[in-house]
Amino acid sequence: MKLQEKISFFIVLTLFSLLAGCASMNNNVLSLFGAEDKIDTHLPIIKNIRTINDVKSVGFEWESLGDDDISLINGFVLYRVQKGGGIKKIAVIKNPLATHYYDNALAPQTNYTYQISTLGKNGHVSPRSPLIQVKTSFIDPVESVFATQKYPKEIKIIWSPHPNPSISRYIIQRQNQKGEFLNIGVVKNRLYVEYFDKDLEDGKEYKYRVIAESFEGAKSLPSVVGIGKTKSRPLPLLGLKVSTNLAREIQIYWDKSPQKDVIKYKIYAGASPKDHFKLIGETTQTTYTDKINTDGIQKFYKVVPVDKTGIQGELPLVALEGSTLGKPPTPVILKGVVVKGEGIIQWQKISNPAIKSYAIYRYEDGFSSKPLRFRDIVKNEFIDKEMKKGKVYHYQVVSVDKNGLESLPSKEVKLLVNE
């Protein structure tokens, strides 16, 4: 062979070896031989193939060929049968002495089918080996999961550490209303085996499971389901009563909660049963007084217990109605005259045992002026001895009950001293 031809052959052989070597290093690189390999029936066929199955990979081992067969080949070709029946070239192993290889990035618990051919020195391949059926394995589930049932608004999930040292983290899942388990958190250490699910609804049950994940990203089978529950709201109160006979205040009463962890009560009020109830106060006692500066007003109340963790009971559906005492009856003036420079006003006596006295309001220069008030009048008559000649006086009478409540003022009486 001429020197130039030898150099050209050496260069081609070197490039061929480098490219083939690169193809053997990456499982997803196609072979140099095109989409269809040419079959050489004289090449040795690989038959006794053993496999070792992992979660996301599978290892292959075959018997070493004899020296005569080794002299005919440059290496091996690994194929994977696709779901549709097609063949995918996984790797070209550019070494006739090789007896091991692997395929990775597989799905756990999945069936795969492989075949192996020998690669001839002429670039042709042998008939493929018998089908190699494998199934990737799985990581055992976390053995036990426990979820608490006593904490307010959160649940603590704990589980046993996974014995597999390849586990890098845990994925915590919670079941939604559709029955699906969705990821809610990650714990990034095999020996750190607790998780807190927070901001939950009161008195509600939740279901959890834990999945272990390896450093390669392989996930274990789901664990058993752990059932947790948040702390329930305090029970509704009994014996609620609201006053209707007090002046300018309403008192609310209730029975003490039988639950030992209830430490206080919140009182809500509204102007009507359908109104938005607002918090007006709280107390550790079993009674509350709502001070109101209006007579004859109605209000509606709801009371809820609150436990030591801050959880309060639900607002009752039904509100209790309370009211302040109404104003006493308004006097009716019978007579208003001036006799010898004195004003005499008489009114109809009110036959109500709650009425204790009457009061007279006297205005000078109309109702825009500040009136004088004459109080503690027990009779149904008033005599004004302090009138001035030529001046007009306006009078109104109110009744006053035992609670000090005044009635609305009577109609006006206007008097003038002319003498």
Q: What is the pLDDT of residues 239-294, one digit of tens each?
A: 999 999 999 999 999 999 999 999 999 999 999 998 899 999 999 999 999 999 88
Question: Under CATH, domain 241-323 is a member of which superfamily?
Answer: Immunoglobulins (2.60.40.10)
Residue ranges, comma separated, of all CATH 2.60.40.10 domains in the chain are: 22-135, 145-229, 241-323, 333-416
Helical H segments across 39-135, by residue range: 67-70
CATH architecture of 145-229: Sandwich (2.60)
- CATH class, domain 333-416, is mainly beta
Mean pLDDT of the chain: 89
79 conformational bin, left if phi > 0, alpha if psi -120 to 50, beta if neither = beta
Q: Which two tokens stand for residue 272?
A: 């009507």
Helix (H) or strand (E) holding 10: helix 3-25
CATH architecture of 22-135: Sandwich (2.60)
Dist CA 35 CA 30 (whole Å): 8
Return the closest-CA partner of residue 259 out of 228, 205, 315, 304.
304
Residue with tokens 């550790």: 284
Dist CA 88 CA 81 (whole Å): 6
pLDDT at 42 > cutoff 90: yes
Residue with tokens 């036990």: 144
Question: Tens digits of per-residue pLDDT, 64-81?
Answer: 999 999 999 999 999 999
What pLDDT score was predicted for residue 369?
Answer: 76
DSSP 304-325: EEEETTS-BPPPPSSPEEEEBP
Looking at the chain, the whole-number percentage of residues with pLDDT higher than 70 is: 91
Query: CB of 233 within 8 A of CB of 314?
Result: yes
pTM comes to: 0.62
pLDDT at 17 > cutoff 60: no
